[in-house]
Structure formats: structure tokens, C-alpha cells
Amino acid sequence: MSLNPSPSIRYIWQHPHWPALHFDAATLAPALDAARLEQGKLLGLLDAIGLSQGQVLAQTLWEQEALATAAIEGEKLDLAAVRSSVSKRLGLAGATPQDRSVDGLIEVMQDATIGFQEVLDDDRLWRWQSALFPGGTSGIRRIAVGRYRDHADAMEIVSGLIGREVVHYTAPPSGQVAVEMAKFLGWFESTRPGAPNPAPCATPNTAPLNGLLRAGLAHLWLESIHPFEDGNGRLGRAVVDLALAQDLGTSTRVLGMARPMLAARVAYYDALSAAQNMSQKAQAKPQVPAQPNAALDVTPWLLWFVQTFTQGCISSQAVVNQALEKANFRQRAAQCGVNERQRKVLDRLLEAGHEGLGGGFLGGMTTDKYSKITGASKPTASRDLVDLLDKGLLRVEGMGKATRYAIAIDSWHQPASDTVP
């Protein structure tokens, strides 16, 4: 049986049975088990974090999520502005917001997780989108803000140079958006944990709907409608954050999907496009036996989503482990009685992290760098470094003029480059 019931149907929303998405639960079961295992490991690690260290970790992951969700759209946010806005939301000192659009994104991310028990409706989504574009513009282009798109032109996802664009996807006409969103929002509320009457759309043969699958379905569904003139990707990932917080029953930033999606950005767009385009579905190897509405089978997309979530949990475990290592190291340093100069340098090395997580103090610490950071003379810098080495807080790499010092944490490795940060 053909996946495409009519040659005129190019996109998933044009299928006569849309939005009755379905999937093969048996195919997804092993991936879901693996995801829950890694999620459990991550939550277990978080239990070992103290309150103060947990707040630092939440700040770091929140900043990374904000940078990632913008980077997926090709936008590079100012790190200082992101840090300031996150600090403001966490009630930390040093918050001096200076970018309204960054502050708006952070506010949306906060509302999606802190407000996980609140209803997701038109008004909430409109307020989220307004926060992303506080000036009513995207770049220098004026856009519809605080409402669904209403332009007559087709809503297309394109790439390529002007005049040589490639259309990857065309969303439903603006005139259909209100009806499409009513179906989506009704489903989202009826399938949230504890809902009395699960919706018939986009559900497996058994209820309740698995929380991870619900998050993946929600993202695909909303991105397929593409209800706003701009900001759909960031809002779609905020809805994923909301769904994951509802699944967990608590607010958390450690389970965000933006970071793993950015790490697999090309695969992300490929998986989304394959789920939305009938031609790609027809060419793909069927995951399950053909059915009358087989074109609405989204098992491959959900498999990718769940596996990417798993990778995100593993990545977050590494971040949490590094936070624990930093906390233990600081405690050890305090017991050794380091002076203020040494503390400052150790903090710089700890802040840089280690190479395995994409960080590291490039080139390692040298006497010259120590002097520049602390303002100490080279003889004093040399004595301080030797003292830290003797106390087991630093380890030495190289000899003679090539001598470098690195933080003495067994699992950390420093980059080989000698670039001064």
C-alpha cells in the first residue's frame, strides 16, 4: 500500500487523517528504556549536589540551553547578556540585563519549566512569542507579534541563496492556523500527566502516553503547523521543555533538548523534514507494516528524538560530574590553606573546565600567565605554583621552558595548544 494517498499531498498536514499521528510502541521500547536509565542516572547525580552547587549548575545549564536554542536558528547570543539575564531570573547578584530579546528568551524558558502546571493555551503562546520579539521586529523586518501569523503568502521553510532557494517544507495556510492550534492545544492538555480523558490523536494503543514520546510528538506537531511568523523553533523547544517538566513533575533545566539538538543540528532538521514530507516517507524503509494511514507513522522521528534525549542526559551527567569534581576540589584546596593569589588562579583553571567537555585552560598554566593573572612577580609566581604542586592541587606537564601546570583532577586533561586565553 502506498504511503501517499494522493500525488497532490506533499506534506503531513495535507493527509486526510491528520493529525492522527501514530507510532510503533514495540520498536520504540528499547530506546525508551535506555532513555529512562540515563535519565535516572542524571537525577541520581543531582541528588548528590548541595543547594549552592545545584544553583551554580542550574545557571550553567540554563545558559547553555539558551545559547543552544538560538544557535540552532543560526543566531549567536552574547554570553554576557545571557549570564546576566539568567542571574536575574535566579535572583543572583551581578544581574544587569541589557538585551531585551535575550531577557525575553530567558523569561520564556523559565515560564515553560517553572510554570509546568499551568495550562498551555493561545494566550500563553502569544505572550511567549511577544517576549522573543519585544520590538515587534525580526532583524529589521516587522513581523506579526503576539498573535498567530495572518499573512496571505505561503509559510515556507527555505534555504539557499536568494533566487536559488530550496523549499524544504510548506506549512498550512494562515487561515487554517487557528483551527490547527485548537486541535494541538486540546491534545496537549488532554494528554498531560493526570489528565482524565486522553485525546485520541497521536496516542499509542495503550494509555497513558509516555512523557518522552508526548514531548517528541508535541514538537513535531507544533513545528508542522508553524503557527507564528517567526520564533517557531524556539517556541517549539520551549514546549518540549514544558512537556518534559510535566513528565518529571518538577521544574528542571538539566533535561533541556536544545543542547543535544544543536550537537546533532543537521540530523535534527533531517529527521523533522523526513517526518513532515510525504516524498521522503515514501522513499524510507517502512518501520511497520503498511496501514491505511501509514503516512502518519512517526516512529522514525520519535526514535531519533528519544535517542537524542538520551545523549542529552549523558552529556548533562558529564556536566554534573564536573560540578561535583569542582566542589570536591575547592573543599580540598580550602583545607590546604591556599593564599588569595593561588585561589584566584585555581578558580580560573576550574572555570575553564576540562577538554573532555569542550573546555580547558589553553596551554596550561605557566609562570608568565600566573603573573599576569595575579600581578605577582615571576619569582613569587614560581613559588606559588611549586607550593600548589607540593600540595597536590596542580600537576606538572613538560620540562624546562615547556613546563605547564594543570589542575590536579584525575579525569581532567588540558588542551595541547599554547594559546593564552
Q: Are 281 and 274 in contact (CB under 8 A)?
A: yes
Instruction: Give pLDDT, residue 172.
Output: 94
Residue 416: band (very low, low, confident or very high) from pLDDT cuts 50, 70, 90 = very low
Q: What is the mean pLDDT of the chain?
A: 85
Residue 417: band (very low, low, confident or very high) from pLDDT cuts 50, 70, 90 = very low
Instruction: Give pLDDT, residue 96.
Output: 65
Q: How far is CA 384 from CA 17, 354, 363, 364, in A?
A: 72, 22, 19, 15
Residues 25-66: pLDDT tens digits?
999 999 999 999 999 999 888 887 765 667 778 888 888 899
Instruction: Give pLDDT, residue 284.
Output: 54
Residues 88-126: pLDDT tens digits?
888 776 656 578 889 999 999 999 999 999 999 999 999
Backbone angles phi, psi at 22, to 5 degrees: -145, 170
Q: Which domains does the chain have, with CATH numbers?
A: 12-320 (1.10.3290.10), 337-407 (1.10.10.10)
Query: For residue 204, is the peptide bond before it cis, meaning its omega torsion is within 30 degrees of 0?
Result: no
Question: Can you tell me the mean pLDDT for 346-375?
Answer: 81
Is residue 2's pLDDT more than 50? no
Share of the chain above pLDDT 90, in %: 54
Residues 391-412: pLDDT tens digits?
999 998 877 777 889 889 887 7
For 172, left (φ over 0), alpha (ψ -120 to 50), or beta? beta
Question: Can you tell me the mean pLDDT for 176-182?
Answer: 97
Q: How far is CA 183 from CA 94, 121, 203, in A?
A: 43, 11, 14
